[in-house]
Amino acid sequence: MGFDLLKGKRGIIFGALNDKSIAWKVAERAKEEGAIITLSNTPVACRMGEVVALGEKLDAKIIPADATNVADLENVFKESMEALGGKIDFVLHSIGMSLNVRKGRTYDDLDYNFLNKTLDISAISFHKMLQVAYKMDAINEWGSVLGLSYVAAQRTFVGYNDMADAKSLLESIARSFGFIYGKERKVRVNTVSQSPTLTTAGSGVKGLDGLFNFADTMSPLGNADALECADYCLTLFSDLTRKVTMQNLFHDGGFSNVGISERTMELYNKGFGQE
Ligand SMILES: NC(=O)c1ccc[n+]([C@@H]2O[C@H](COP(=O)([O-])OP(=O)(O)OC[C@H]3O[C@@H](n4cnc5c(N)ncnc54)[C@H](O)[C@@H]3O)[C@@H](O)[C@H]2O)c1
């Protein structure tokens, strides 16, 4: 059921890969809330049947782009404005990838070429997107740009590896560009720090199952899933949150503010007694 939260708004959604993707849920929900959108992902992902089907279902043009490539991003904004008939109101950056994680390189044995790629794909692409949009003046006043982060930006989580550094940079870019974009064009820039979520990128993280269950028992409200994340993103694209900018907003069932829960302590004591 929709509330017309995004009625008449134009959006670009980066990063919908399959129906588990957070961006996929955002795209579906944005449409239900009355938005018109375009979708973007890597050329390889855009050729996949699932992404093509999503485009058809949502009547959304699919514009391939490597998010680390400035010319590709310029083309996404240009083609989106043409397809949607005007300047953009909201952008979702839902992109992350680490070759160090994929290839099993631990944080004390990083491959630095891989690290550069992690930072470029997962964080600097957010800056590139913002700079391209700013220079093209492609986003309307009171527009909203969102990136997706994780609490490992603030605290160490074994296995999250160099993605933690990427998320710290992503959140910093939201603050730094958010100041300029807010002051000059009244565009807001935020990151949403989401619970562990069972997606393709998520399952690349070492020990995701354990991390998922741990976060779930620690959080008073339990983990937030991809659809719940999408709903939260929509509120941040809507006109109801026009003065929220330069923030990292936790969407994690309360996890980030809990020391330990009774249930986690109980499980810990049980396990400890068995050793
Ligand atoms: N899954 C989790 O546990 C979790 C938790 C917190 C934050 N996040 C963040 O949410 C975002 C979305 O991830 P997801 O969990 O939905 O997984 P996902 O695998 O569905 O999405 C990641 C997307 O990044 C795209 N991508 C990778 N390299 C790219 C490039 N060079 N150019 C353009 N696109 C590229 C992929 O094609 C894919 O669509 C990521 O930023 C991720 O770090 C995920």
Render pLDDT for 227-264 as a digit per residue (tens, 0 to 9): 999 999 999 999 999 999 999 999 999 999 999 988 88
Beta strands, E only, 63-217: 88-93, 139-149, 188-194
Which pLDDT belongs to residue 272?
A: 67
C-beta of 91 in contact with ligand 1 (< 6 A): no
Residue 159 or 119, more confident: 119
The CATH number that applies at residue 77 is 3.40.50.720
Average pLDDT over residues 140-150: 98
Strand 139-149's sheet: what is its strand order? 61-62, 36-40, 10-14, 88-93, 139-149, 188-194, 248-251
Confidence of residue 207 (pLDDT cuts 50, 70, 90): confident
Domain assignment present for 3 = no
Residue 91 structural domain:
10-273
Task: Please work out whether the CB of residue 27 comes within 6 Å of at least one atom of ligand 1.
Answer: no
Please check the confidence at residue 132 and state whether its pLDDT lies above 80.
yes
In a domain, 216, yes or no: yes
pLDDT, residue 273, reads: 58
Q: Is any atom of ligand 1 closer than 6 Å to the C-beta of 121? A: yes
Which uninterrupted H or E stretch holds 33?
none
Q: Which of 20, 63, 95 has most ligand 1 atoms within 8 Å of its beta carbon, as the pocket-test mutant?
A: 95
**Residue 197 counted as domain residue:** yes
DSSP state of 195: P
Does any domain span residue 1? no
Tell me the CA–centroid distance for residue 272 and ligand 1, in Å.
36
pLDDT of residue 274: 60
**Structural domains in the chain (count):** 1
pLDDT of residue 271: 84
247 lines ligand 1 (CB under 6 A): no
4 within a domain of the structure (yes/no): no
Place of tokens 């003065």: 243
Alpha-carbon dihedral 47, 52, 55, 59, rounded to 10 degrees: 120
Q: What is the pLDDT of residue 1?
A: 63
CA 195 to ligand 1: nearest atom? 5
Structure-token pair, residue 235: 């509120």
Q: Does residue 275 have a pLDDT over 80?
A: no
What pLDDT is attached to residue 37?
98
pLDDT at position 263: 87
Q: What is the pTM of this model?
A: 0.97
- Integer Cα distance of 210 and 184 in angstroms: 44
- SS3 state of residue 185: helix
Of 190, 163, 164, 25, give the one whose Cα is nearest residue 91: 190
Is 75 a member of any domain? yes
- Indicate the average pLDDT of the chain: 96
Is residue 255 one of the residues assigned to a domain? yes
Return the pLDDT at 204: 82
Whether the CB-CB separation of 41 and 14 falls below 8 Å is answered with yes
Which residues, 6 or more positions from 20, have their beta carbon under 8 angstroms from its beta carbon?
A: 198, 199, 200, 226
22 lines ligand 1 (CB under 6 A): yes
Tens-digit pLDDT profile for residues 43-87: 999 999 899 999 999 999 999 999 999 999 999 999 999 999 999
Looking at 12-87, list the stretches that DSSP marks H as alpha helix, in order from N- to C-terminal side: 22-32, 43-46, 49-58, 70-84
